Amino acid sequence: MDPSQFQKQYEAIISIIEGNVDGNDDEEAYFASAYFRYQFQMIARLLDTASLRLDSIESSEKCPEFTILTQAGYQERLRSPFCSPLPVILFGSNDPTYCPLIGLALWLEYTFSEGRELVFETSNTSTGTAEAKVRKIKNLACRILSDVQRSTEFINTLEDLGLDLDRNRTCGVWNGVRMLAAKAAVGMGLCPRDLDYRTERNLLRKRSYDDYSEDEDCFSFSNINVGCALCKGGPVGYKVKPDSKISDSWILQNVVPNISSKLNRAEQRNAVLVLGKALLWKVFEDSSNYVPAEISQRIRRAYNQVLHAGDEELHAGDDSTEAGDNPIKKVPLVLRHRRSDYTVVIEEEQSTNRFSLYI
């Protein structure tokens, strides 16, 4: 199958899921949007995506201002104490449909509750043992995707692409999300060896040349390289505009207060800020009322007060949400190779207003 055709199927799935939301209470839609965005970026199975734990979300040492680290569980296949998955780096994507940061930020801020351990727990999957919860989450994702496949809008997408309807309705598109991610990365010139560090890398048979290479160095390069390739339109970072008058503490308190209260370890602070900036950007770019009204109005009201601080016309208790321009900008990230070392350094190129990731 042509990768571009399947890519359009994936985009149709996300569009159908998010198109059913109008700012009201729709837990399943926010769940599915975040779930499938993350699955694509991780090149993971449904079950492995479902096992993502909150305590695995951490700040990235390589480029903490723009990226986060996560680690899917692969728990069903991990039986050896010497076999554990490596953390995977996540970038923002220029195409919001492929951006895992937006999906995770909105989902976590919308649904956080006490005693939660798994990222994708919902009100209907929060009971039972850890393994039972993972299975319930995976089954929920399967059911939602199956419903999308049977929708008229999705069938019309297949017809427009000239695809075999019977074949595509019987095979699982959730498998194709993983297939799409792998094909997209290989289409960017990456080899399967690079993908090993993105998915079940520790579960594969050791190769002879592993003995002659520094594992951490290979992981750093391949991890970031694949992460960039999976971002349609290129990887981006969410950066606060200098004239926005907002600080890191303001973002934590007003944009992602629920996330920051739960992910409160020191090594998670930058990760929470990255998610907060992604959500803040989405709120001001949301023309379809996809962001829940409660979250959107809370953030806009808080930013409006920042803009009018000291303004006598802004009275206490003013509920105005007209906060002006977006205080966050998307900055393109460029991957550059520097073979003298494998340390990622972020430098701003004033001439192009891009950030270079030197490896």
Q: What is the pLDDT of residues 103-145, one digit of tens each?
A: 999 999 998 765 678 899 988 888 888 889 999 999 999 898 8
* Cβ–Cβ under 8 Å, residues 270 and 65: yes
pLDDT at 180 over 80: no
Distances (CA, A) of 202 to 74, 77, 87, 289: 10, 10, 11, 42
- Residues 6 or more apart in contact with residue 128 via CB below 8 angstroms: 136
* Cβ–Cβ under 8 Å, residues 89 and 154: no
Q: What are phi and psi of 239, to 5 degrees?
A: -120, 135
**Mean pLDDT, range 194-220, rounded to an integer:** 57
pLDDT at 18 over 80: yes
* Cβ–Cβ under 8 Å, residues 228 and 335: yes
Helix (DSSP H) and strand (DSSP E) numbers for the chain: 14, 8
Summarize pLDDT for 218-235 with one digit per residue, the tens.
556 777 888 888 888 889
Strand order in the sheet with 88-90: 58-59, 68-70, 88-90
Residue type for 299, please? I
Helices assigned H by DSSP within the chain: 3-19, 27-42, 46-50, 100-111, 130-150, 152-160, 165-170, 173-187, 192-196, 215-229, 248-254, 257-262, 269-285, 293-307
User: Looking up tokens 């727990």, which residue turns up?
Assistant: 121
CA distance linking residue 264 with residue 262, whole number of Å = 5
Pairing of strands 354-358, 345-349: antiparallel
CA distance linking residue 242 with residue 175, whole number of Å = 43
* Cβ–Cβ under 8 Å, residues 159 and 148: no
* Cβ–Cβ under 8 Å, residues 90 and 70: yes
Q: What angle do CA 231, 332, 252 make, to 5 degrees?
A: 90
- Is residue 317 left, alpha or beta, with left meaning phi > 0 and alpha meaning psi from -120 to 50? left
Listed in order, strand segments (DSSP E) in the chain are: 58-59, 68-70, 88-90, 92-93, 235-240, 328-336, 345-349, 354-358
Summarize pLDDT for 254-295 with one digit per residue, the tens.
999 999 998 988 889 999 999 999 999 999 997 777 898 889
pLDDT (0 to 100) of residue 159: 81
> Nearest CA to 299 among 327, 260, 331?
327
Summarize pLDDT for 156-167 with one digit per residue, the tens.
887 887 766 655
CA distance linking residue 235 with residue 335, whole number of Å = 9
What's the token pair of residue 315?
């009275």
Longest CA pairwise span in the chain (Å): 72
What's the token pair of residue 100?
């895992």
What's the token pair of residue 220?
């750093």
pLDDT at 92 over 90: yes
Task: Give the rounded percent of residues in the chain with a pLDDT score beyond 90.
Answer: 28
What Rg value do the Cα atoms of the chain yield, rounded?
21
Summarize pLDDT for 336-359 with one digit per residue, the tens.
665 544 444 444 544 455 556 555
What's the predicted TM-score (pTM) here? 0.85
Q: What are phi and psi of 169, to 5 degrees?
A: -85, -20
